[in-house]
Amino acid sequence: MLAEILIEVSAEGTIRGVHWYDDTLRELLQEIWERFSGRKLADVFTISEPEDARSEGILRWEEMVFDSLNLSRGDGQLLLLKQSRNREFLLERALDHVGEGVQIYDRNAYAVFFNERSRRISEIRDEVGIEGMHLLDMYPLDEEVSTTLTALRTGQPVIDRVDHFNTTDGSFIATANTAYPIRRDGDIIGTVVFEQDQSVVADYLRRMNSIETALNSYGESSQYLRFSGYTFRNILGDGRAMREAVGIARKIADQECDVLLVGETGTGKELFAQAIHNESRRHGRKFLAINCAAIPESLIEGLLFGTVRGSFTGSEDRIGYLEEAAGGTLFLDELNSMSLMMQSKLLRAVQERTIRRIGGSEDIHIDVRFISSCNEDPFTAIRENRLRRDLFYRLSTVMINLPALREHPEDIEALMQARIRNANQHFVNKIQTISPEVLSFLQQYNWPGNVRELFHVIDYAMNIAETDRLELQHLPKYLTGAASAEGVRPSETSDAREKADTDTFAVCPDWHIDTLQSVMDRCEEQIVRAALDQYGGNITKTAEALDIKRQSLQYRIRKYGIII
């Protein structure tokens, strides 16, 4: 086994140290695991002991599973760990999704694995174990014509042979089977059998017809893939707040004034910025966007102003965004996340419309329109000394407030229909209708992630829906689970979500089904969500506030399926 982690354990079972051989696991776990030094191994990890000193066992920590190899030495032991990839389990579950029956036998025709479709074809109940049973003990077949036994006996594939038999309850079953012998180093070690009955054939015909129709019609809808930037036609919504925002944006689009867009994460600030640019006289020139929250301070100055070769190690002659956007528009996304020092440097460029590259001595004139955005109230950011007042007034000649989705729920249906219409071309099974229950549920949800979160929800539902109608069961569990876990109706979900955000222990655990770990996970998820909301989804600031590494925060975001 190629070890990824090594744990030194004393003769008394105490952890002496942890050594890392995998950089990804080190970044993810080092900060936590190195605190385990001096603690009993059994107090930290759940261990399935190996059968002997050199066989593999299993070690578990939280949701992570490791294959372990125990090497004894005089003063203790070395525990070699490799993260379990669950290969066998993944392969079995993958075969369960195959549309036809799959049976695997060893070289003596003893069963190794049947997938779910095969068990249904043969009417084998879930509680009946088949592993280790002989083919002829399960099926009353003539061994001279059995597809499986013929492939094992001859060492050759048997293609589309019909086997028929009666089940234990007297039902007649006929299946078309194909068997392939499996070899290792030239020796037959088993066989895999694919079986189809009438139900499999019917399913294939239905799916193939649907796929053929979808592929034939794909070319007709492919024009939707050609995208050249957002315009005001892409902004959907008839609510008063949305109409007001669009109206202001349309009026000032063709003017040269700088614009500040204010709205929560996911409200469509870049969509508005591109629409304003594409409606302006600058529409034929470049639109460039820079996310002030995502780019480290050490890099953002060079990206904006450009660099001169030799000004620092590895520097090259490179123009910055302020030059590159000549005659066009520069979108400064999340301006309030830019450092005050960088804001000071930007202020001069905005005021003077001249810049100087890093390490350069020449003043360069720039012709650029600034559109900026804040994901919080800019006046609050000014009071808390996170946004320079003079820069704010320079860049907010016109300030447009974009409403949060919860402020115009009447637009949710139109947004859903547009998302479905644009995505339907990618699916064989196209969504035609939305159930009234789904629409009512989503209109009463709080939408902390706004339109971006709504689109994520629709994408998820379309990926798992097997009908042409979106139903409640197609929605992500984090939405419907909030309602059921707290004993509320769908219409109360937003209230429950707000309560959960402010009261971590609002839900009393049910110790019949809950564990300490599951309760701690729920509390941790609520804390992480609240912190991300507080800092507008900014990973760096949230990690600093929680006093954890960025990688640890990103691990938890993936773990809990949090949408930023």
Q: Identical fold at 5-85 and 88-200?
A: yes
C-alpha distance from residue 199 to each of 192, 460, 499, 521 (Å) = 20, 28, 49, 43
pLDDT band with cut points at 50, 70 and 90 for residue 102 = very high
pLDDT at position 217: 65
pLDDT band at residue 224 using 50, 70 and 90 as cut-offs: very low
| 118 pLDDT above the threshold of 80 | yes
DSSP state of 5: E
Structure confidence at residue 425 (pLDDT): 73
Mean pLDDT for all residues in the chain? 84
CA dist 45 → 15, 25, 28, 368 (Å): 11, 16, 17, 58
Asked if pLDDT for residue 49 goes beyond 50, the answer is yes
> Per-residue pLDDT for 488 more than 60?
no
More confident position, 418 or 164: 418
Angle between helices 550-559 and 23-33 (to 10 degrees): 100
Task: With a cut of 90, say whether residue 180 has pLDDT above it.
Answer: yes
Distances (CA, A) of 427 to 219, 460, 464: 13, 13, 11
CATH code at 5-85: 3.30.450
pLDDT at residue 271 in the model:
94
Task: Choose the weakest-confidence range: 49-53, 145-149, 333-337.
Answer: 49-53
CATH 3.40.50.300 correct for 232-403: yes
Mean pLDDT of 47-61: 65
User: According to the model, what pLDDT value does residue 142 have?
Assistant: 81
Query: What's the distance, CA 494 to chain centroid?
Result: 23
Mean pLDDT of the 471-491 span: 65
Span 442-464, average pLDDT: 89
Alpha helix (H) ranges present in 34-134? 41-44, 87-96, 116-121
* Number of Cβ within a 10 Å radius of residue 317: 13
Q: Residues 321, 289: contact at Cβ < 8 Å?
A: no
Q: What confidence tens digit (pLDDT) does each residue in 296-313 have?
A: 777 899 899 999 887 665
Lowest mean pLDDT among 100-104, 392-396, 479-483: 479-483
The answer, yes or no, to whether residue 551 has pLDDT greater than 80, is: no
From CA 400, how far away is CA 252, in angstroms rounded? 10
DSSP state of 169: T
User: Which is higher by pLDDT, 488 or 431?
Assistant: 431
pLDDT at 228: 53
The enclosing H or E element of 293 equals none
Task: Output 521 or 490, whichever has higher pLDDT.
Answer: 521
Question: What pTM, to 2 d.p., does this model score?
Answer: 0.54
What CATH code would you report for 408-559?
1.10.8.60
- What is the rounded end-to-end Cα distance, in angstroms, of the chain? 38
Write down the pLDDT at residue 514: 59
pLDDT in the model for residue 311: 67
Kindly tell me if the per-residue pLDDT of 487 is higher than 50. no
**pLDDT band, residue 105 (cuts 50/70/90):** very high
* Predicted pLDDT of residue 508: 58
- Kindly report, residue by residue over 22-43, the tens digit of the pLDDT: 888 888 888 889 889 999 998 8
Kindly state the helix (H) or strand (E) to which residue 153 belongs, with its residue range: helix 147-154
**Could you tell me which residues come within 8 angstroms of residue 119 by beta carbon, excluding any fewer than 6 positions away?**
125, 126, 130
Q: What is the pLDDT of residues 253-286, one digit of tens each?
A: 999 999 999 999 889 999 999 999 999 999 989 9
pLDDT of 167 reads 63
C-alpha separations of 331 from 70, 322, 343, 379, 448 in Å: 57, 10, 15, 20, 24
Closest to 210 measured CA to CA, from 464, 420, 467, 416: 467
Per-domain residue ranges of the chain: 5-85, 88-200, 232-403, 408-559
- Read off the pLDDT band of 506 (50, 70, 90): very low
Instruction: Provide mean pLDDT across the span 551-557.
Output: 78
Average pLDDT over residues 538-560: 81
Radius of gyration of the chain (CA): 31
pLDDT band at 56 (very low <50, low <70, confident <90, very high): low
* Residues 341/300, Cβ–Cβ less than 8 Å: no
pLDDT digits (tens, 9 = 90+) for 136-179: 888 888 888 889 999 999 999 999 888 887 765 667 888 899 99
**CATH architecture group of domain 88-200:** 2-Layer Sandwich (3.30)
Least confident of 218-227, 258-267, 410-419, 425-434: 218-227
Q: What is the pLDDT of residue 53?
A: 42
| pLDDT score of 490 | 46
Q: How distant, in Å, are the alpha carbons of 122, 150, 151, 180 from that of 107? A: 22, 12, 10, 12
Determine the Cα angle at 349 with ends 343 and 353, to 5°: 155
pLDDT confidence tier of residue 510, bands split at 50, 70 and 90: low
pLDDT score of 547: 83
What does the pLDDT average to over 374-382? 93
Secondary structure of residue 365 in the 3-state scheme: strand
- Report whether pLDDT(193) > 90: yes
CB atoms within 10 A of CB 352: 11
- How much is the pLDDT for 486? 44
| Helix/strand/coil (H/E/C) assignment for every residue in 388-441 | CHHHHHHHCCEEEECCCHHHCHHHHHHHHHHHHHHHHHHCCCCCCEECHHHHHH
**Tokens 């890099």 — which residue?**
299
